[in-house]
């Protein structure tokens, strides 16, 4: 299978990103690594020495979900995967996530899996909020995972074609939307333990993100039956049209 990997990035540390791309190329040997870079102030980031690396610079902040979606749409590989550009999940764990597609349609990295290894933790506040979100999502959604938001996921091209039309969220809530939609469509989801290290330079606004995630989970609970039946019709602008 050919693998295409998207790295959504906003104001990344250039040296860290270059090192991470080197590791991903060495371990996964993907057909393409596509950096989806939101750079309102412009950027000169480039990888001229690598034929397999593409950089798509957008002069606005699209959000994680929209950046990944547009990146996936630009790929023609058998497998579509993404990882956070800060390198929090090492290349070896991304490879484990991709390998899980041998027996699944969607593979989800998990920091809360009993077999996961956490090198450095998030702040106490972010950990507690993350635990609360995971608990609430398991309570409200039919799909039960230990971690919905880990920045390491992969799916087959066929699975992407199935879920694509039901994705609306442009920001961090895109992760849980992808998983819930995949479950509603009857796809096989594998949860994969990963090694993970927190990046203290995260640009996530904790309060705003929690509100976004909560709204999305309640919306997905309502939308789930119509997604499963393939009858969902929403009046708001689809992500595909943005």
d(CA 130, CA 124): 10
Q: What tokens does 183 get? A: 């479950």
What pLDDT shows up at residue 121? 60
Reply yes or no on whether the pLDDT at 72 is more than 50: yes
The answer to whether residues 57 and 44 touch, using CB atoms and an 8 Å cutoff, is no
Percent of the chain with pLDDT over 70: 90
∠ CA 47-53-21, rounded to 5°: 80
DSSP one-letter string for 110-150: ESSSTT-EEEEPPPHHHHHHHHHHHHHHHHHSSS--S-S--
More confident residue, 3 or 242: 3
Reply yes or no on whether the pLDDT at 205 is more than 60: no
d(CA 88, CA 77): 24
Q: Where are the beta strands (DSSP E) in 170-217?
A: 189-193, 195-197
Percent of the chain with pLDDT over 90: 79
The tens digit of pLDDT for each residue in 79-137 reads 999 999 999 999 999 999 999 999 999 999 999 899 999 887 666 667 777 788 889 99
Query: At 94, is the secondary structure helix, strand, or coil?
Result: helix
Reply yes or no on whether the pLDDT at 35 is more than 80: yes
What pLDDT shows up at residue 201? 63
- The structure tokens 């957008």 sit at 58
d(CA 180, CA 33): 26
Measure CA of the first residue to CA of the last residue in the chain; give whole Å.
30
Band the pLDDT of 242: cuts 50, 70, 90.
Answer: very low
Sheet strand arrangement including 189-193: 53-58, 32-38, 3-10, 79-83, 152-156, 106-110, 189-193
Q: List phi, psi (to 5°) of 143.
A: -85, 125
Reply yes or no on whether the pLDDT at 236 is more than 70: no
The answer to whether residues 83 and 154 touch, using CB atoms and an 8 Å cutoff, is no
Query: Helix 64-74 vs helix 174-184: angle between axes, to the nearest 10 degrees?
Result: 60
Q: What is the mean pLDDT of residues 167-174?
A: 95
Buried-state track 143-175, b at ≥16 Cβ within 10 A, e below 16? bebbbbbbbbbbbbbebbebbbebbbbbbbbbb
Band the pLDDT of 7: cuts 50, 70, 90.
Answer: very high
Lowest mean pLDDT, pick from 16-25, 26-35, 122-131, 177-186: 122-131
Domains of the chain from N-terminus onward: 3-230 (3.90.550.10)
What pLDDT shows up at residue 206? 66
């Amino acid at each position: 299978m050919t693998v295409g990997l998207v790295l959504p990035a906003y104001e990344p540390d250039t040296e860290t990103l270059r090192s991470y791309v080197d590791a991903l190329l060495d371990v996964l040997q993907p057909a393409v690594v596509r950096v989806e870079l939101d750079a309102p102030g412009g950027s000169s980031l480039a990888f001229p020495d690598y034929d397999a690396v593409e950089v798509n610079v957008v002069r606005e902040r699209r959000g994680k979900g929209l950046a990944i979606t547009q990146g996936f749409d630009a790929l023609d590989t058998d497998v579509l995967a993404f990882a956070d550009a800060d390198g929090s999940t090492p290349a070896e764990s991304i490879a484990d996530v991709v390998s899980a597609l041998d027996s699944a349609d969607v593979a989800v990295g998990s920091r809360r899996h009993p077999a996961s290894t956490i090198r450095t933790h998030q702040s106490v506040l972010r950990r507690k909020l993350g635990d609360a979100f995971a608990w609430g999502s398991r309570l409200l959604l039919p799909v039960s995972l230990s971690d919905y938001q880990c920045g390491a996921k992969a799916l087959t091209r066929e699975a992407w074609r199935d879920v694509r039309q039901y994705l609306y969220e442009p920001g961090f809530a895109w992760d849980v939307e992808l998983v819930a939609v995949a479950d509603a469509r009857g796809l096989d989801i594998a949860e994969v333990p990963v090694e993970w290290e927190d990046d203290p330079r995260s640009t996530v606004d904790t309060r705003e993100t929690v509100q976004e995630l909560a709204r999305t989970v309640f919306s997905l609970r309502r939308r789930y039956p119509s997604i499963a039946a393939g009858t969902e019709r929403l009046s708001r602008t689809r992500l595909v049209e943005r």
